[in-house]
Amino acid sequence: MDNKLSERHVCTKYITPALEHSGWDIHKQIREEVSFTDERIVYKNKGFTRKKGNRADYILYYKPNIPLAIIEAKDIEHSIGSGMQQALDYAEILDIPFVFSSNGKGFLFHDRTGNNENLEQELTMNQFPSPEDLWQLYKMAEHIDKEKEKVITEDYYQDGSGKSPRYYQRVAINRTIEAIAKGQDRILLVMATGTGKTYTAFQIIWRLWKARKKKRILFLADRNILVDQAKSIDFKPFRDKVTKLKNRTVDKSYEIYMALYQGISGSEEDKNIYKQFSPDFFDLVVVDECHRGSVAEDSAWREILQYFSNATHIGTTRGEKGLLTYKIDEEVSLRLFNEGDAEEFYNLTIGSKPYLKQWLGWLDYIESVEDSANNIKARLKGFVENGGYPKSFAIIYRGEIAGTIGFNNLNNANRIGVIGYWLGERFQGKGIMSKAFKAVIDYGFKELELNRIEVSVAVENKRSRALPERFGFTREGEIRQAEWLYDHYVDHIIYGLLSEEWK
């Protein structure tokens, strides 16, 4: 072997032949030098400089847009694992389960699924796994049976132009398809403006529809232009299967329905034409730009979702910094949790566990970052179910998650919300929770149009009791042995505040 071979020569002479030898199709499954982020102009050292985009040496696909592996190549003078960290970073961005590094003498294999006893192992050049080998590993790790596989492997729509989704669209599409195949029925897609939320939604609907996982779909938006553009551009491939609900008339012979939510509902019963469909008519309801809409409109929006509650619900919303953020002052703000918060939220919870355990009875159930991630997913599910209005928030102090506050329970019929809250130990004594508490009361009465807000606090928890007492809540009673805390019961005081009492 020539010890002076460059990285590109290593790829051409050793890595690509090894992949073909293992059964990978060079035309359909192997992509080399894949650029997935653009170059950027950045300001540095009092001047502007060009920052290169990210580029993977190899991405291997089980089928188009379903990537299985990434390979980072190094020249022959580097060690076999020299490219592993870079490959892992790329795999995290691209949501790719299997990672390889190679210098042409062998491969270092890293299994990100966590299903392999050996997290990393060295392979010879002749031991590279085949496409079917890696797919079987992935199916085993993700518990994918034949029925789920049929949905997950359904083809993307291709118009013949060669257009394919950007990597972040593909990640959103594939994660959503897989989640629905596994039975998840409430999903929120958070994507920045201009990143193709409607195109992403179309590909999700197309694949679920073609796989016959979802046969009748309702696509809702709050603006005519969103519905009309989607129908004439992104949803055009559905041809005669798609219709727009208008003039308050219903034809049940179509499979894809597009509508303004305010156009199929109203304060008068005869305007609620969505009720001409049976509650089980739709398999899937997609709500575009679900962060928008007035409170009155959104009440109707929630009624539609509740009426079709047996369907899978997908909401799309903006993901820029500041989305659904309520700035209180220069140091404190409230914002919607996102899945990227899981590790920070977990560390805050565990770091404050001895302190919080005095009054919170669920802390022993938080054992891993995954537990915090599941908690956040439940919060995001609540966001979608509540028509695009958050039920709970992360409390942000100087850029860090300091705690959480929100409505543990919302009774929409009676317009009652029950506030719950906690703050990490090191953030105590800074006035953070007082600011957050006041902001959530405002949010509850003004945005959610609640008539009554309640707080239930342990009798001995004087610090938490001080909040409702400071903000004018009425002490309405005491519930004996209201909560079990690890080895004993505690009594609770119930505080209440009416909207007419809040100034």
Between the CA atoms of 129, 133, 138 and 139, what dihedral angle is there, to the nearest 10 degrees?
A: 180
Cα angle: 406, vertex 409, 411; to 5 degrees: 125
Residues 468 and 497: beta-carbon distance below 8 Å:
yes
Superfamily of domain 149-318: P-loop containing nucleotide triphosphate hydrolases (3.40.50.300)
pLDDT tens-digit readout, 50-81 = 556 789 999 999 999 999 999 999 998 899 99
Helix (H, G, I), strand (E, B) or coil at 304: helix
Residue 448 has what pLDDT? 86
Residue 44 has what pLDDT? 47
Residue length, the chain?
Answer: 503
Residues 137 and 112: beta-carbon distance below 8 Å:
no
Residues 392 and 406: beta-carbon distance below 8 Å:
yes
Q: Concatenated DSSP letters for 285-314?
A: EEETTTT-S-HHHHHHHHHHHHHTTTSEEE
Tokens of 132: 């079917």
Bridge partners (DSSP) of residue 360 are none
Q: Which of 232, 166, 156 is nearest to 195 (CA)?
A: 166
Residue 1 has what pLDDT? 56
Q: Given this structure, which CATH class describes domain 7-142?
A: alpha beta
**Ranges of residues in the chain whose predicted pLDDT is under 50:** 41-44, 46-48, 293-299, 320-322
If you search the block for the tokens 């079917």, which residue do you land on?
A: 132
Tokens of 201: 């939604």
Residue 466 has what pLDDT? 96
Helix (H, G, I), strand (E, B) or coil at 493: strand
Maximum pairwise Cα distance, the chain:
83
Cα distance between residue 484 and residue 488, in whole Å = 6
Cα distance between residue 420 and residue 344, in whole Å = 20
Residue 49 has what pLDDT? 52
If you search the block for the tokens 């192997």, which residue do you land on?
A: 30
If you search the block for the tokens 């219903």, which residue do you land on?
A: 250
CATH architecture for the domain at 325-501: 3-Layer(aba) Sandwich (3.40)
Whole-prediction pTM value? 0.67
Q: In the chain, where are the structural domains located?
A: 7-142, 149-318, 325-501
Which helix (H) or strand (E) segment holds residue 484: the answer is strand 474-485
Cα distance between residue 282 and residue 313, in whole Å = 10
